[in-house]
Chain A
Amino acid sequence: MFTYILYALAIAGLAISFLKDRKKTKAALMKAWKSFENILPQILTIFLIIGFALAIFPPETIRKLLGAESGFLGILAAALIGSITLMPGFVAFPLAAALLKSGAGYMQLAAFVSTLMMVGVITIPIERKTFGLKATITRNASAFVFSFVVAVVMGVVLG
């Protein structure tokens, strides 16, 4: 259902854009293709890894590690993994969805997704160049703490 809305929006947007400016519309489509082709190798690789990881680790193992009963330790583990790994959302959300189907908990996945997007340990050297070390550390640390709030609220709402 949601996918159809997206398609409708994209088609409507393209039509309006095309009527207004053909060149810009072509540029937009080129950009769309380029962005897609750019993440394609990452997507393919991650999907292979997910496919194998889920075949090797049965749902029971995932449930134990990141399931609803893994509690605070599971949230902490998920938050740490999210902080140090670097993957685009186009890869992260399918992974989270796959983990959810395999028995991971909403709280743990909320912590994972949240730190993944807001905390970037690997990218500290890049961030530092713009914000300096102090602001960089403060921003990442507050975002890390914030992710636990997201996890807890998610647990209350969906748990």
Chain B
Amino acid sequence: MKHSENGAGNMPDQMQQNGAPKMPNPPQGQQKPFLKRYGAFFLLLAAGVVTGLVLPDLGKTALNNTLSSFKEMLSVLPPIFILLGLLDVWVDRATMIKYTGKGSGFKGVLIAFLLGSAAAGPLYAAFPFAAVMLKKGTSFMNVLIFIGAWSTTKIPMLAFETANMGPVFTLVRLALSLVGIPLIAFVTDRVIGQSGREEIYALNDAKQSK
């Protein structure tokens, strides 16, 4: 089992220990060799050096820009990643899934929201997680809310957003997301309708039992 770049990385392992069916891995470039992963960077760096030799002024400005954003990042990232790691290790997601099924009401919505917010990683890593939730009987609406929260209100990301864009920008976006995410979930759920929901559950059942 590959470990993904995000908080959900250990989730599939837990799931499998609990006897749940194997779920698909998100397509991620994990075990790629060093050169492949950093290739684009070195290529750009080389291009940058050449540009800098031909146009020293431009190169100097570019170098200063790059270094200053890098310094800024290095000062903020360590605590965020430590929090992310702690979250990942201490929050047991598998047990929370069962509280988000149909009829879980507002509590289910809240849990789906918190579950998504506690995650970390790109949105596409959330879909395999969503597939397991569907398979385990989480309501479609709650899965959509989970996806919405994962995409926008992740806690470590909010901290990072505040550091970069300021508290007002972050709070306005958060406040709107708290309304917008359930709204998007509701609209999607309605557009799909009962038959569509059944199709989606069937889709994930079929995929899991393969």
**Chain A residues engaging chain B, CB cutoff 8 angstroms:** 2-3, 6-7, 9-11, 13-14, 17, 24-25, 27-36, 38-39, 41, 43-45, 47-52, 54-56, 86, 88-90, 93-94, 96-98, 100, 106, 109-110, 113-114, 117-118, 120, 123, 126-127, 129-132, 134-135, 138-139, 142-143, 146, 149-150, 153-154, 157-158
B40 touches A6 (CB 8 A): no
Other-chain contact of B161, A29, A32, A93 (Cβ < 8 Å): A93
> Which of A2, A9, A31, A96 neighbours the largest number of chain B CB atoms within 10 Å of its CB?
A31
Is B180 in contact with chain A by the CB < 8 A criterion?
Answer: yes
B192 touches A118 (CB 8 A): no
A-side contacts of B24, CB under 8 Å: 129
Minimum CB–CB distance for B148 against chain A, Å = 7
Can you list 27 A-B contacts (CB < 8 A)?
Answer: A2-B159, A3-B79, A6-B76, A6-B163, A13-B86, A14-B86, A28-B90, A31-B9, A35-B81, A45-B40, A49-B44, A52-B66, A96-B164, A96-B165, A110-B173, A117-B151, A118-B151, A120-B124, A123-B123, A126-B127, A129-B24, A132-B196, A134-B191, A135-B196, A138-B188, A149-B176, A150-B172
B164 touches A132 (CB 8 A): no
Of the listed stretches B14-22, B67-75, B93-101, B104-112, name the one at the interface; the rest are far from the partner chain. B67-75
A-side contacts of B90, CB under 8 Å: 17, 24, 28
Q: How many residues of B contact A (CB 8 A)?
A: 89
B45 touches A130 (CB 8 A): no
A142 to B37, CA, bound (A): 34
A39 to B162, CA, bound (A): 20
**Taking A34-B3, A45-B41, A89-B154 as contacts, is the C-beta distance between A13 and B82 under 8 angstroms?**
yes
B-side contacts of A45, CB under 8 Å: 40-41, 44
B-side contacts of A118, CB under 8 Å: 123, 148, 151-152, 184
**Taking A27-B89, A113-B173, A134-B192 as contacts, is the C-beta distance between A127 and B127 under 8 angstroms?**
yes
Of residues 48 through 99 on chain B, the ones whose CB sits less than 8 Å from some CB of chain A are 48, 51, 58-59, 61-67, 69-70, 72-73, 75-86, 88-90
Residue of B nearest to A157 (CB): B172
A3 touches B76 (CB 8 A): yes
* Residues of B contacting A: mostly: helix
Residue of A nearest to B65 (CB): A51
> Which of B80, B89, B121, B191 neighbours the largest number of chain A CB atoms within 10 Å of its CB?
B89
Minimum CB–CB distance for B77 against chain A, Å = 7
B176 touches A153 (CB 8 A): yes
A90 touches B173 (CB 8 A): no
**Taking A56-B58, A96-B164 as contacts, is the C-beta distance between A47 and B128 under 8 angstroms?**
no
Residue of A nearest to B153 (CB): A117
A3 touches B163 (CB 8 A): yes
Minimum CB–CB distance for B38 against chain A, Å = 5
Is B147 in contact with chain A by the CB < 8 A criterion?
Answer: yes
A-side contacts of B78, CB under 8 Å: 7, 10
Is B168 in contact with chain A by the CB < 8 A criterion?
Answer: yes
